[in-house]
C-alpha cells in the first residue's frame, strides 16, 4: 500500500512540476501565415551553407539522412568553462512553418546542467517565448554553447545542478562524471 501511495505522490509532484515549469519543447501555436515548404527548404539550405562557411569554433550541424528538416548538431564546451574539452550531440527538428516557429532542440548526449533536464530538453528563452524569425541555426547553436558556461540558475530544469553550481569544483566533477557515464554507455552498446 505504501508503494502505491509513494507512486501516486511521485506522479502528483511530477504533474506539479510540469505546471510550474512547462516543458521547454512545447511549441507556440501555429502561425496564421500559410506554409510554403519550398521557401522553408531553401532557407534551411542557406542556413546550412552559412553555418559550414562561418568558421565558428565548436559548433556544427548537418541534416540527418535525406530530410532537411531534421539535423544533428555538435557543440563543444567553450574555453574556460566546466565543459571545455567535452563534445555534445544535439537533435534539431525544424517545423514546417520555420522560421515562424522555433525548432525543437534536444541534447542527445547526457549533459549535467541547470538548464538541461534528464531527457535533453533545454530551457533557453530563444527556443521558447523569445523566438524571432531573425534567428537561425548558427544563432541557436552559439546560444546553447554560451548557455553551457553561463547557466540561468534562477530558472533550472535540473535543480540539483543549479544548487551545485555555487561549488565549482564539485560541479566540474559532476559534469565529467555524467559525461564519462555517457561515454561508457555508448562504448558498451552494440
Catalytic residue ranges:
123
Q: Look up cell 511521485; give the residue.
A: 10
Strand partners, 89: 74
How far is the C-alpha of 35 from the C-alpha of 175, rounded, in Å?
Answer: 41
3-state secondary structure of 63: strand
List strands edge to edge, sheet with 87-93: 59-63, 70-76, 87-93, 104-107
Q: 10 Å Cβ neighbour count for 44?
A: 22
CA Rg value for the chain: 18
Going from the C-alpha of 6 to that of each of 1, 11, 19, 154, the distances in angstroms are 9, 9, 20, 29
Please name which of 77, 65, 40, 43 lies closest in space to residue 171, comparing C-alpha atoms: 77
How far is the C-alpha of 106 from the C-alpha of 84, rounded, in Å?
Answer: 20
Amino acid at each position: 500500500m505504501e508503494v502505491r501511495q509513494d507512486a501516486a505522490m511521485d506522479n502528483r509532484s511530477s504533474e506539479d512540476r510540469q505546471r510550474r515549469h512547462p516543458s521547454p519543447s512545447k511549441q507556440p501555436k501555429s502561425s496564421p501565415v500559410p506554409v510554403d515548404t519550398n521557401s522553408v527548404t531553401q532557407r534551411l539550405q542557406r542556413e546550412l551553407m552559412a553555418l559550414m562557411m562561418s568558421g565558428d569554433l565548436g559548433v556544427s550541424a548537418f541534416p540527418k539522412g535525406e530530410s532537411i528538416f531534421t539535423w544533428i548538431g555538435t557543440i563543444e564546451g567553450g574555453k574556460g568553462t566546466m565543459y571545455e574539452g567535452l563534445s555534445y550531440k544535439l537533435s534539431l527538428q525544424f517545423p514546417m512553418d520555420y522560421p515562424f516557429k522555433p525548432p525543437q532542440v534536444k541534447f542527445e548526449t547526457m549533459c549535467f546542467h541547470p538548464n538541461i533536464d534528464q531527457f535533453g530538453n533545454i530551457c533557453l528563452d530563444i527556443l521558447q517565448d523569445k523566438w524571432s524569425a531573425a534567428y537561425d541555426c548558427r544563432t541557436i547553436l552559439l546560444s546553447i554553447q554560451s548557455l553551457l558556461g553561463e547557466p540561468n540558475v534562477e530558472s533550472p530544469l535540473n535543480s540539483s545542478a543549479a544548487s551545485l553550481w555555487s561549488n565549482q569544483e564539485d560541479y566540474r566533477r559532476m559534469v565529467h562524471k555524467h559525461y564519462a557515464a555517457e561515454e561508457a554507455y555508448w562504448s558498451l552498446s552494440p
